[in-house]
Amino acid sequence: MGKRRFRRTLIASLVAVTVGVPAFVAVGPRLAAARHVVGVDPGRPGGPVRVVVTPARLRLYRGRIVVALRRRRIAFDASAARIATRLTIIENIAKEVKALGGDVTAVEELIGKARSALDQAKATEAKAIAAFQAVPNASDKWEAFQDARDLGAQAVKELKQARDYGKQAVSELRAIIDKLEASEGGSQ
């Protein structure tokens, strides 16, 4: 009984190997090509080795870039809108303080600087988005990615600069309001 089971198992294994291995060998290269979407092109002898990116990998890159840019755009636009709203509020308060007799020229200058920095940040962000979208088609993808990343960092830096100008305007406005309150308190 034990020998019979052993023979059946052996025959089933041999049949599986005999039928399965040629099928695996025939299909294997296509599966491997699908998995390894980055190939190496040795180029001419003695020349630099190039990495060849297949269309499947480019589609993957483009998809990732679309998702990353969507998230980045949402975050950047939300921050820019928040800063613009705060600048409008500061500007309205400055108008009220000016109507009460306060000198708000420094505040108005800072608000102007903040708005120009915000506009510059939006323009730089648009350039960064275009640069990120061009990465898959670039000949040197790493260099193109580095340039796009630098542009994105510059846009964020300019956005922070706009926020800092807004903060400075608020502190100037607080100082002016404190002076007005002190002069009203002293005259009463």
Q: Are 90 and 170 in contact (CB under 8 A)?
A: yes
27-31, 81-85, 107-111, range with the lowest pLDDT: 27-31
More confident site: 29 or 86: 86
**pLDDT surpasses 80 at 83:** yes
pLDDT digit string (tens) for 2-16?
Answer: 666 666 665 655 555
- pLDDT, residue 137, reads 84
Q: Is 101 left (phi over 0), alpha (psi -120 to 50) or beta?
A: left
- Write the single-letter amino acid at 152: G
Length of the chain equals 188
pLDDT-based confidence at residue 94 (cuts at 50, 70, 90)? very high
pTM, two decimal places: 0.67
The fold of 65-187 is: Four Helix Bundle (Hemerythrin (Met), subunit A) (1.20.120)
Q: What is the mean pLDDT of residues 64-72?
A: 87
